[in-house]
Amino acid sequence: MNISYRLADISARLGGRILGDAEVRIFQIATLEKAQPDQISFLTNSKYRAQLACTRAGAVILGEADAEATDLPRIVSGNPYAYFARVSALLNPLPEAKPGIHSSATVGAGAKIDPTASIAAMAAIGDGVTVGAFSVIGEGCCIGANTVIGRHARLYPHVVIYHNCVIGDNLIAHSGAVIGSDGFGIAMDEGRWVKIPQIGRVVIGNDVEIGANTTIDRGALDDTVIEDGVKLDNQIQVAHNVRIGAHTAIAGCAGIAGSAVIGRYCLIGGGARILGHLELADYVEIAAHTLVGKSIRETGSYAAIFPFSKTEDWRRNAVHLRHLDELAKRVKALEKQIESLKGKEQ
C-alpha cells in the first residue's frame, strides 16, 4: 500500500507555510529534474531556480527567499533541506519489525529482552544483555555479555557489539559496524609486543548513527564516548578513549587516533586524520583528507590539502618543498642584510 499525504497533512505534521493548492496529494519525493506530478521536490539553493520553470513536480519545498519563484503549490520553510529530510522520512517509513525472538537466535542467561523488541534469525545475545523497547536486532548480530541497548535502536544485519558497552536510545548501526573491539594497546618488552588489556567500554548517547563497517574501539582504562546526536559515516576508525562531542558529523574513511577529544557540532571531512591526544574545539570544520597534527583551540574552518596537479608539475614542486627550510633561512639572512644596509644609509 502506497503512503500519500495532502500538502495540508504534511504542513499539519511538520509545520511550514503553504502557498497554492493545499489539497495536492503527494506519494513520493524526487529531484526537480525527475519529479512527477504526484511527487514533491525541493529547492535548497537559489542558483537552481531555473529548474523550477521546467519541473513536473506536483509541489515543491523552498525557503522564504524563493517563495515567489514559482506558481506551483509549495511549502515554505526556514530550512528547506531539513524539511525535505522530514518529508522523505514521512513518505518512506522503515518497515515494521515483528516483535519477538526468532527461533534460530540465541539468548544468554539473564538477558532482558523487552517484549516489543525484535531479535532476528541467527542473532546471538550474550548473558546479561538488556535490549530496550521497540529495538530491532538484525540477522546475525552479536551482542556481548552485559551490554545495554536502549529503546528504538535498529541494528542492521551483522553488527557486532562487544561486552559491557552502553548504547542509548534511537541508535542506528549499519551492517558490519563493530562497537567495543579492543583498542590498539601494546607495549614493547625485550623485543616483543605485549598486549595491554582494554578494560574500558564504549558508551554511546542517544540519536547516534554509525555507518557500515565503521569501528569504535573500547577504552584502554576509561571509556570511549560518543555523545548524543553524533553521525558517523561508513568505514570510520575511532580509536580507544576517543571522545566525540554531541552532534558532530564525520564523513567516510576518517581516522581518529587514541585519546583524541572532538568538540560538539564539529564537521570532519572524508579521509581526514586526527592524531592521538589532540583536542578540537566546538564548531570546528576539517576539510576532507586533512591531517590534523596539533590541537585546535579556536572555532573555525581548517584545511591542509595540497592541490592536485599534473604529475611532472607535482614532482618539481615536491623537490622545492624539500628545500623550504633552507630557503626560509636564506630569506631571513637576506632580511637581516637589508635591515643592516638601511641602518647604514640612515
Contact, 210 vs 228, CB < 8 A? Answer: no
Tell me the three state secondary structure of residue 142.
strand
CB of 32 within 8 A of CB of 41?
yes
Q: Pick from 15, 36, 34, 32: which is nearest to 24 by CA?
A: 36
Alpha helices in 76-190 (DSSP H): 80-91
Order of strands, edge to edge, in the sheet holding 142-143?
106-107, 124-125, 142-143, 160-161, 178-181, 215-217, 237-238, 255-256, 273-274, 291-292
Question: How far from chain centre, in Å, is Cα 99?
Answer: 29
Q: Where do we find the cell 559491557?
A: 164
DSSP code of residue 95: P
* Residue found by looking up cell 531556480 in the block: 49
Write the DSSP assignment of 50-63 as a string of letters.
GGGGT---SEEEE-
CA–CA separation, 86 and 336 (whole Å): 63
Question: Of the residues 240, 247, 277, 323, which is catalytic?
Answer: 240
Does 323 qualify as catalytic in the annotation?
no
The percent of the chain in helix, strand and coil, each rounded to the nearest 5, is 20, 30, 55
* Range 79-83 contact pairs with CB under 8 angstroms and sequence separation of 24 or more: 80/42, 80/43, 80/44, 81/42, 81/44, 83/14, 83/16, 83/42
Residue positions annotated with a catalytic role: 240
